[in-house]
């Protein structure tokens, strides 16, 4: 495997960007190219450290996940109904992802395609933030099956590396009448089943790439990703209570041409 510091750098990048609307996959592709850590083994390592970010969400929102297993009478988003909403959100991208997985891996995992996706997502953020929207969904318990499925359809945009699953689902929720902070929280929770399925699928296919000596490298990246994601989620929710998504769009537009020029 690569030097130990590569695991730390990629773990930080994954954790900080997974749930921000700036694309963790895009940043991992770019960082991997800069560190000369590319290829099938690197791509599978990226999948492993995503599990660290997933664990951070589960622990931060443990009460909501616990409520899915043991229904809470005071919360509508719990039990079978909550699971049904998450299933509806996960369904579109799961189906499209399975159908296009090979194509995406072959043609869309490059700095150029990531740069284009970053710019496209930034433009969409400006458009969505500039639109007049009602905010009738002010808590997770007010999310309906129709809204959950609609957010799931927007999530398909995230199959394009660099677009950002977080950006796609948050914007989808906002367009469907969900308050920005609630859309972000639902985006985090809804990420768990589809990310777990995607990471599990890739790991089952590629776990033979790793040897016994790679375990500490994988564990280091996993732990760093978990800690970074925890901090990023807490900070992002705080910022969304005071800011729009526009600063993230500006960052994306600034980053896109730099990628095209230097990678």
Q: What is the mean pLDDT of residues 166-183?
A: 96
Compute CA 231 distance to the chain's CA centroid, rounded to the nearest angstrom: 15
In this prediction, residue 38 carries a pLDDT of 85
In this prediction, residue 194 carries a pLDDT of 79
Q: Which residue has the higher pLDDT, 135 or 77?
A: 77
Q: Which residue has the higher pLDDT, 108 or 139?
A: 139
- Rg of the chain on CA atoms, in Å: 18
Contact 25, 238 (CB under 8 A): no
Q: What is the pLDDT of residues 16-38, one digit of tens each?
A: 999 999 999 889 988 998 999 98
pTM score, two decimals? 0.89
Least confident of 41-45, 178-182, 252-256: 41-45
Where residue 162 falls (left for φ over 0; alpha for ψ -120 to 50; beta otherwise) is left
The pLDDT confidence band at residue 204, using thresholds 50, 70 and 90, is confident
- In the predicted structure, residue 252 carries a pLDDT above the cut 90: yes
DSSP class per residue in 136-187: -B-SGGG--HHHHHHHHHHHGGGGSTTS-HHHHHHHHHHHTTB-HHHHHHHH
Least confident of 38-52, 71-85, 232-246: 38-52
For residue 237, CA distances in Å to 85, 179, 182, 184, 230 come to: 22, 12, 9, 7, 11
Least confident of 44-53, 141-150, 175-184, 217-226: 44-53
Q: What is the mean pLDDT of residues 101-122?
A: 87
Rounded to 10 degrees, the C-alpha dihedral 11/113/188/95 comes to -120
Q: What is the largest CA-CA distance in the chain?
A: 55
In this prediction, residue 1 carries a pLDDT of 63
Q: Give the chain's mean pLDDT.
A: 91
Give long-range contacts, CB 8 A cutoff, 24+ apart: 247-250: 248/20, 248/21, 248/22, 248/122, 248/125, 248/167, 249/121, 249/122, 249/123, 249/125, 249/126, 249/129, 250/122
Domain ranges in the chain? 4-245
Listed residue (165, 182, 89, 167) closest to 129, CA to CA = 167
């Amino acid at each position: 495997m690569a030097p130990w510091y590569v695991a730390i750098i990629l773990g930080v990048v994954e954790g900080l960007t997974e749930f921000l609307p700036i694309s963790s996959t895009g940043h991992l592709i770019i960082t991997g190219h800069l560190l000369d850590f590319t290829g099938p083994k690197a791509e599978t390592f990226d999948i492993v450290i995503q599990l660290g970010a997933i664990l951070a969400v589960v622990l931060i929102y443990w009460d909501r996940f616990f409520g899915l297993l043991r229904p809470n009478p005071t919360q509508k988003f719990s039990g079978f109904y909550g699971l049904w909403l998450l299933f509806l959100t996960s369904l579109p991208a799961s189906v499209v992802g399975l159908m296009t997985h090979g194509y995406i891996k072959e043609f869309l995992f490059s700095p150029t395609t990531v740069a284009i996706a970053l710019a496209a997502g930034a433009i969409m953020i400006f458009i969505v933030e500039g639109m007049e929207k009602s905010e009738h969904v002010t808590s997770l318990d007010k999310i309906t099956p129709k809204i959950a499925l609609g957010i799931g359809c927007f999530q398909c945009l995230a199959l394009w590396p660099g677009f950002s699953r977080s950006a796609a689902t948050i914007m989808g929720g906002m367009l469907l009448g969900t308050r920005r902070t609630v859309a972000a929280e639902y985006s985090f929770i809804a990420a768990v089943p589809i990310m777990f399925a995607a990471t599990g699928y890739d790991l089952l296919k590629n776990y033979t790439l790793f040897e016994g000596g790679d375990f500490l490298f994988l564990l280091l990246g996993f732990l760093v990703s978990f800690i970074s994601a925890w901090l990023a989620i807490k900070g992002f929710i705080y910022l969304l209570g005071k800011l729009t998504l526009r600063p993230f769009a500006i960052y994306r537009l600034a980053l896109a041409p730099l990628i095209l020029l230097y990678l």
